[in-house]
């Protein structure tokens, strides 16, 4: 399975257009010291040609250039077979609106995510005015085959699992399945990738599930729980915003450092997080624990 990290920043990207924190200022003026990043998304493929997006970010147009592998076979062509969503947050789903020219854009999502896109953000009715949007519901804890646009079996399977988190602030209901993680498996190689860009707590059952992955792409939004408050982003802490911090009590760094996954990668990293600065103390601590800070374009085959 080919795994490509298309975007590794949280909503707003890095640097964020209206932010002048240390990290954003460094990324603007000295990008070799803090690499710019687009908003969180990944892609998986069994053959390196037919790709499935894991979330569709507002930066999808720019990100899809990484999937090009030569001249297209037709005037209108897309390497994207379908989009698999982990939630209905704007920074994870607005990209489906920007892909409306695809004419046919299959989606894999839970009933809870579909309802938010239908009723609250209204993204699905909007895109349906331009394209056919077939949806496949993802049951929780069930193995579902990912199929290509022409109906062919891609050779990949996906399993959705619940993770602690908050629904989008514009959602009317707190429906089950509004926030999930994904475990994608390659049928031929047995390679497994866990994709969890948003997670409010690391429970023992969740840690045990993540341990089964060869590649783990996990929520690295904030360094500490108090970071959003200290940075002046509002009155809510990281945990209150539905994101487990990397460091501190209840943080993800210690439990994830114990996992045997071949690759443990932080993604969905907020612009205020000091790990984005290449030579920061926080970056060094992540690396010493055996994890890495994800960056746009990182790829691996399992």
As given in the structure block, the two tokens for residue 274 are 């000091």
* CB contact at 8 A, 144 and 173: no
Q: How far apart are CA 279 and CA 274, in angstroms?
A: 10
Domain total in the chain:
1
pLDDT digits (tens, 9 = 90+) for 199-217: 999 999 999 999 999 999 9
Q: How far apart are CA 219 and CA 243, in angstroms?
A: 7
Q: What is the mean pLDDT of residues 57-85?
A: 87
Q: Give the rounded distance of the alpha carbon of 133 from its chain centre.
A: 21
Q: What is the mean pLDDT of residues 28-38?
A: 98
- Band (68; pLDDT cuts 50, 70, 90): confident
Q: What is the mean pLDDT of residues 70-87?
A: 84
* CB contact at 8 A, 120 and 168: yes
In this model, does residue 74 exceed pLDDT 90? no
Mean pLDDT over the full length of the chain: 96
* Nearest Cα residue to 238 out of 256, 253, 220, 254: 220
User: Which domain covers residue 216, as residue numbers?
Assistant: 2-301
In this model, does residue 223 exceed pLDDT 80? yes
Q: What is the pTM (predicted TM-score) of this model? A: 0.96
Residue 40's domain is classified under what CATH number? Answer: 3.60.15.10
pLDDT digits (tens, 9 = 90+) for 86-117: 999 999 999 999 999 999 999 999 999 999 99
pLDDT at 75: 66
């Amino acid at each position: 399975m080919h795994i490509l990290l298309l975007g590794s920043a949280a909503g707003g990207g890095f640097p964020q257009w209206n932010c002048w924190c240390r990290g954003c200022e460094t990324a603007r003026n000295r990008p070799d010291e803090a690499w710019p990043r687009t908003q969180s998304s990944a892609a998986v493929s069994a053959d390196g040609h037919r790709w499935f997006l894991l979330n569709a970010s507002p930066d999808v147009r720019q990100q899809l250039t990484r999937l090009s592998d030569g001249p297209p076979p037709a005037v209108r062509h897309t390497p994207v077979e379908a989009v698999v969503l982990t939630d209905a947050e704007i920074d994870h789903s607005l990209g489906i609106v920007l892909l409306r020219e695809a004419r046919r854009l299959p989606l894999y999502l839970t009933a809870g995510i579909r309802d938010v896109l239908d009723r609250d953000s209204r993204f699905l009715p909007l895109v349906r005015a331009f394209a056919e949007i077939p949806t496949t519901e993802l049951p929780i804890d069930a193995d579902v085959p990912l199929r290509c646009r022409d109906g062919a079996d891609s050779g990949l399977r996906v399993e959705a699992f619940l993770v602690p988190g908050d629904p989008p602030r514009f959602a009317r209901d707190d429906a089950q399945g509004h926030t999930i993680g994904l475990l994608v498996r390659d049928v031929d190689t047995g390679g497994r990738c866990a994709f969890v860009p948003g997670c409010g707590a690391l429970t023992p059952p969740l840690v045990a599930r993540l341990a089964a992955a060869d590649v783990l792409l996990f929520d690295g939004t904030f360094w500490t729980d108090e970071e959003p408050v200290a940075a002046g982003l509002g009155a809510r802490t990281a945990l209150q915003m539905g994101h487990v911090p990397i460091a501190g009590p209840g943080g993800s760094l210690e439990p994830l450092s114990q996992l045997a996954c071949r690759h443990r990668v932080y993604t969905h990293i907020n612009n205020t997080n000091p790990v984005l600065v290449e030579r920061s103390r926080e970056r060094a601590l992540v690396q010493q624990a055996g994890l890495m800070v994800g960056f746009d374009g990182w790829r691996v085959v399992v």
